[in-house]
């Protein structure tokens, strides 16, 4: 048994916030998580933000067994930083929808002046486009107007790279 000191609570909190309190693997996203050292504790003997990532117990075990290689884990960590600095929570949920629903290229969202603000960076980066001509504006069950949005080719490539631990920059 090693005499590893506990990861300080503020650092744990930073790691959990970075991943949204979920596993950092985009195809997993389980909510019960461990904190994993990307470079093993035995080699680095330090708790540092850049070397820590939130993984569910299964992905954590797979990382230790080498089923998820260190290069992939580093890319997941790097991609989290990009996602968190570039996209808001609403946009990240839209991205996650397309990750969780492979083959889906369209999504119906509430329509209004605030929607473009909530999707502003996905639209600006041309990952997503409104499709007012392809599918008409419809009313939701609550009577709210909705509009279809579609992934662009750039958006599909972005999702594919994020899922497969490739650089999304």
**Mean pLDDT, consecutive 10-residue segments, the chain of 169 residues?**
86 96 95 96 95 98 96 96 94 95 91 84 96 62 77 97 92
Helix and strand counts by DSSP (H, E) for the chain: 8, 6
Query: CA-CA distance, 13 to 21, in Å (whole number)?
Result: 9
Enumerate the β-bridge partners of residue 146: 110, 138
Query: CA-CA distance, 91 to 67, in Å (whole number)?
Result: 30
User: Given this model, what pLDDT does residue 114 score?
Assistant: 81
The model carries a pTM of 0.83
Enumerate the β-bridge partners of residue 108: 148
Q: How far apart are the first and last CA of the chain?
A: 40
Query: CA-CA distance, 154 to 27, in Å (whole number)?
Result: 19
Range 17-27 burial, b when 16+ CB lie within 10 A, else e: ebbbebbbbbe
């Amino acid at each position: 048994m090693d005499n590893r000191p506990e990861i300080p609570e503020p650092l744990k909190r930073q790691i959990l916030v970075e991943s949204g309190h979920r596993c950092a693997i985009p195809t997993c996203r389980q909510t019960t998580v461990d904190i994993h050292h990307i470079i093993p504790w035995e080699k680095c003997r330090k708790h540092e933000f850049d070397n820590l990532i939130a993984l569910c117990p299964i992905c954590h075990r797979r990382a230790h067994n080498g089923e998820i290689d260190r290069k992939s884990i580093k890319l997941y960590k790097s991609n989290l930083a990009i996602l968190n600095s570039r996209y808001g929570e609403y946009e990240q949920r839209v991205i996650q929808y397309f990750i969780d629903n492979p083959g889906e290229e369209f999504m119906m969202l509430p329509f209004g002046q605030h929607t473009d603000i909530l999707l502003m960076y996905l639209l600006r980066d041309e990952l997503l486009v409104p499709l007012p001509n392809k599918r008409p504006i419809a009313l939701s069950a609550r009577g709210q107007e909705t509009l279809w949005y579609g992934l662009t080719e750039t958006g599909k490539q972005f999702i594919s790279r994020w899922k497969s631990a490739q650089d999304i920059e």
